[in-house]
Amino acid sequence: MLKLVCDKNETVLAHFRAQYPDIDVCIAFNDVLAREDIRGVVISTPAETHFRLATEALLAGKHVYVEKPFVLNEKEGEELIALAEERKLTLMVGHLLQYHPVFMRLKELAAAGELGRINYIYSNRLNLGKIRREENILWSFAPHDISMILALAGEEPERVIATGGNYLHKKIADVTTTHLEFPSGLRAHIFVSWLHPFKEQKLVVVGDRKTAVFDDTLPWNEKLLLYPHRIRWENNIPVPDKAQAEHVQVHESEPLKSECGHFLECIATGQVPRTDGREGLRVL
């Protein structure tokens, strides 16, 4: 149950007070930590504040859900994980798409061998905005994609190359491409931009039996398609056999609601979150 909303912006608080008249609001984070009836906190603030606020919350005995990116350097992530483990508290990172029913179904299909051996994955997360000044596009958009790719790969990359372009601010990248190479031979790339003329949120997983396409901008019953394309050889020449796309039916539910429910369940039962601090650190 939502008890309290904390924000430095009084206009934002007034909006929440009007929308949710039964909850409390406050400006000071210390007021949240002092409340004995609050067991867990959600930190959805600029990335550079995540480490400080999560540390204060854990030290106050609160379970913590921190939005992506987890933190901005590896040492801070390791410190938060150690602190949560020492105090036996839940530490969860907001990699939302791990709770998306369509991605969960895609992951099940891949694990069952429906796609065959996965050769290549690419992910595009593109839009015009929301443009941030406290973090670059890689930190802002790509954690979701890296989290999904690592979950599908089941291994960590041995080589990562990232390049970007700075157009609105000389020190903040607006567009990046990231290439990952894995020990098994799997390759992946991620293209993110907040200067793109149209919105695209697409994950493509290319296997040697089928290719899966998760397009989160399409209506629910079209979000996950399987393409059973094959390559056959004729006289030592590869010839593509194209096939009709297969629609995969997935029960519709709200990913954010599922993610929040998972956080509450972890607090209640002590189970390790699907996207715990260690998963957040791997993405970092």
Residue 71: per-residue pLDDT: 93
Confidence of residue 135 (pLDDT cuts 50, 70, 90): confident
154: phi > 0 → left, psi -120 to 50 → alpha, else beta; which?
left
Cα distance between residue 97 and residue 255, in whole Å? 7
Asked if residue 157 has a cis previous peptide bond (ω within 30° of 0), the answer is no
Cis ω for the linkage preceding 130 (within 30 of 0): yes
Percent of the chain with pLDDT over 90: 84
The model's confidence at residue 161, banded by pLDDT at 50, 70 and 90, is: very high
Q: Average pLDDT of 170-192?
A: 95
Q: Is the pLDDT of residue 230 over 90?
A: no
pTM over 0.85: yes
Q: Which pLDDT tens digit goes with each residue over 13-67?
A: 999 999 999 999 999 999 999 999 999 999 999 889 999 999 999 999 999 999 9
Q: Residue 173: is its pLDDT beyond 90?
A: yes
Question: What is the pLDDT of the chain when averaged over all its residues?
Answer: 94
Looking at residue 240, what is its pLDDT?
85
Q: What Cα–Cα distance (Å) separates residue 258 from each residue in 18, 94, 262, 279? A: 25, 11, 6, 18
pLDDT band (50, 70, 90) for residue 279: very high
**Which domains occur in the chain, in start order?**
4-95+255-283 (3.40.50.720), 97-247 (3.30.360.10)
Band of pLDDT at residue 243, cut at 50, 70 and 90: confident
Helix (H) or strand (E) segment spanning residue 45: none
